[in-house]
Amino acid sequence: MVQMSVDAAAIIHRIDPSALVLSPSITATEEGYTWLRDYLSLLPPDTIDAIAIHTYTGGLWPEDAIPAEMNSVHSALPAAYANMPIWSTEGGWGLNSWFSSAPSDQRGFVARYDLMLLNEGLVRGYWYAYENTQWGTLWDGSNLTPAGIATGTIESWLTGSTFHGCATGDGNLWICDVTTGAGNRARIVWVTTTPVRDFSTSGYSTVERLDGSSSPTGGTPITVTTEPVLLSS
């Protein structure tokens, strides 16, 4: 595999120097991490442009799965690859049967998944799959699913914005700060388990939801649930 990678990268870069060549994708298993370490230890560092992984959560929520997987990935990287970009070339909740079918859970998952990938420093993430009826369905053949609608919403929240990271102080309430393309501050908030009531909206004029709806805050506190909302000014 190492020799095939070296040969393929040389041919591809000779034809198109701007092309990006990735490592083979691994899954989130001990076997996968060991394989990645062994492969990269033998691979000349200038062969590939990014490291590829899969980020299926196996039905877990993103906060429980993505940071743990990335810790294992980083631990498997030889020093020469420690700062190489990492792509998730495939991921999501996995089989639909592994996760809740409740619309609110599906909307919440895709937003929290994207935010966790960003927070862990992944450069790109590819959801599996848009119109697969068994795996992470975003399009059911006729309409966008709740997860599909929320995917478009979180994209609209983040496109053109500067992402400043997400943090939690108690493992329940998560807050992500962003600066919009217009230079305004905004905040994405959600909880993993217990709703937080009377969350202050001071300094923010609008609350936007993953189903595409929005309303003025009027300075009134809100209840934060497992579905992220965007507070914007």
pLDDT in tens, 5-55: 999 999 999 999 999 999 999 999 999 999 999 999 999 989 999 999 999
Report whether pLDDT(208) > 90.
yes
pLDDT in tens, 85-124: 999 999 999 999 999 999 999 999 999 999 999 999 999 9
Beta pairing partners, 87 = 52, 124
pLDDT in tens, 174-189: 999 999 999 999 999 9
E strand or H helix at 34, and its extent?
Answer: helix 30-42
Q: Are 38 and 24 in contact (CB under 8 A)?
A: no
pLDDT given for residue 65 in this prediction: 97
| pTM of the predicted protein model | 0.96
Report whether pLDDT(209) > 90.
yes
Q: Are 93 and 57 in contact (CB under 8 A)?
A: yes
Instruction: For 132, list phi and psi in degrees, rounded to 5.
Output: -80, 125
Beta pairing partners, 191 = 173
pLDDT given for residue 64 in this prediction: 95
* β-pairing verdict for 206-208 and 51-56: unpaired
- Interhelix angle 103-119/146-158, rounded to 10 degrees, is 40
CA distance 127 to 101: 17
pLDDT in tens, 52-88: 999 999 989 999 999 999 999 999 999 999 999 999 9
pLDDT given for residue 63 in this prediction: 98
CA distance 14 to 16: 6
pLDDT given for residue 210 in this prediction: 98
Residue 155, C-beta contacts closer than 8 angstroms, at least 6 positions apart? none
For 187, which DSSP code?
Answer: E
| 167-170 long-range Cβ contacts below 8 angstroms, 24+ apart | 168/63, 168/192
In the chain, the DSSP E strands lie at 51-56, 86-92, 124-127, 162-168, 173-179, 185-191, 196-199, 206-208, 214-216, 222-224, 229-232
Residue 95, C-beta contacts closer than 8 angstroms, at least 6 positions apart? 134, 135
